[in-house]
A and B are shown apart, each in its own frame.
Chain A
Amino acid sequence: MKFPQAWIIAGALVTIAQAATQEAGLPAWKDGERVQLEKDGWVAGGALLSKDPAQVSTAENESKIPEPTAGEIAEPENPRVELPEKFWADYFGEKPKSFLVDPQGLLSTVDHRDRLAFLNYHASDSAIDLYVYVFKGNQEIPGEAREEELIERFFSKGRPAAVVYYYMSAPELSAIYLSPSLMGAIPGAEQHRALESSVMQAIEKPDPSKQIEAFLVQMSIRIYWMERLAGLGTAAAEPMMASASRSDAPVKKHKMMILLQPWIDKSKPLVLPAALLCASLLAGLVMTGWLRRRARYRFPEFEVEPRLGGPHAAGIGAVISFASAAVPPASQRDQVPDYLKRY
Chain B
Amino acid sequence: MKCPRCVQRIHRAASLCPHCGFSITDADARFGGEELRLRCLTDSAGILRRGDRERVEEAMEKISKRFPQIFVAVYTGALGEVAHIRQFGFWLLNRSAFEDVPVEKPNEAGILLTIDPESKAAGMVFGYLLDPFLEESDTFECLSRAHASWLEQKYADGIIRALAELESILCKRCRQARRDPEHFQRKVQPPAMMGDTVRRIRAGHRNESVKQTASTREEVEK
Indicate if the CB atoms of A336 and B7 lie closer than 8 Å: yes
Indicate if the CB atoms of B69 and A318 lie closer than 8 Å: no
- We find that the number of chain B residues with CB closer than 8 angstroms to chain A is 74
State whether A310 and B90 are in contact (beta carbons under 8 Å apart), knowing that A300-B177, A318-B136, A319-B82 are contacts in the complex. Answer: yes
Chain B residues with CB below 8 A from A315, complex form: 2-4, 86-87, 89-90, 93, 125
Q: A11–B107 Cα gap in the complex (Å)?
A: 155
Indicate if the CB atoms of A320 and B125 lie closer than 8 Å: no
Q: How far is the CB of A244 from chain B (nearest CB, A)?
A: 54
State whether A296 and B133 are in contact (beta carbons under 8 Å apart), knowing that A313-B126, A315-B90, A316-B125 are contacts in the complex. Answer: no
Indicate if the CB atoms of A302 and B185 lie closer than 8 Å: yes
Q: A198–B177 Cα gap in the complex (Å)?
A: 82
Indicate if the CB atoms of A298 and B68 lie closer than 8 Å: yes
Q: A303–B185 Cα gap in the complex (Å)?
A: 9
A-B contact count (CB 8 A): 174
Name the CB-closest residue of B to A301: B129
Name the CB-closest residue of A to B7: A337
Q: How far is the CB of B100 from chain A (nearest CB, A)?
A: 17
Indicate if the CB atoms of B121 and A321 lie closer than 8 Å: yes
Chain B residues with CB below 8 A from A296, complex form: 65-68
Name the CB-closest residue of B to A294: B66
Indicate if the CB atoms of B89 and A304 lie closer than 8 Å: no
Name the CB-closest residue of A to B113: A317
Chain A residues with CB below 8 A from B131, complex form: 304, 314, 316
Name the interface residues of B158-177: CB closer than 8 Å to any CB of A: 170-171, 173-175, 177
Q: Does A308 contact B (CB under 8 A)?
A: yes
Q: Does B106 contact A (CB under 8 A)?
A: yes
Indicate if the CB atoms of B94 and A312 lie closer than 8 Å: yes
Indicate if the CB atoms of B177 and A317 lie closer than 8 Å: no
Indicate if the CB atoms of A307 and B89 lie closer than 8 Å: no
Indicate if the CB atoms of A307 and B14 lie closer than 8 Å: yes
| 4 interchain residue pairs of minimum CB distance | A315-B90, A312-B107, A318-B140, A309-B24
